[in-house]
Amino acid sequence: MQPVEESNVQWQPVGVPAPFDVDIELAVLDREGAHALVFPCRRILGGWVNATTNKRLDLRPTHWRKWTH
């Protein structure tokens, strides 16, 4: 994970629903602060998957934005 950095793409709180079928960058919170995942994710019913491997993710993101990498 990487620290959440500023960008011209605004972070949205998870209370704002992320779109389906779009690569998304997720941020999670731990003891050291907010960190962005280093791989694109996709929203599915009931959670998230790694957009590259399609493997289900067991996490609770705090923020999201469209993947721009």
Tens-place pLDDT, residues 20-40: 999 999 999 989 998 999 999
- What share of the chain in percent tops pLDDT 90? 81
Indicate the pLDDT class of residue 14, thresholds 50, 70 and 90: very high
Indicate the pLDDT class of residue 5, thresholds 50, 70 and 90: low
Kindly tell me the sign of the dihedral angle through the C-alpha atoms of 43, 48, 50, 53.
negative
| Domains identified in the chain, total number | 1
- Residue 15 φ/ψ, nearest 5 degrees: -65, -20
Q: Cβ distance 2 to 36 under 8 Å? A: yes
Helix (H, G, I), strand (E, B) or coil at 69: coil
Domain range enclosing 9:
2-66
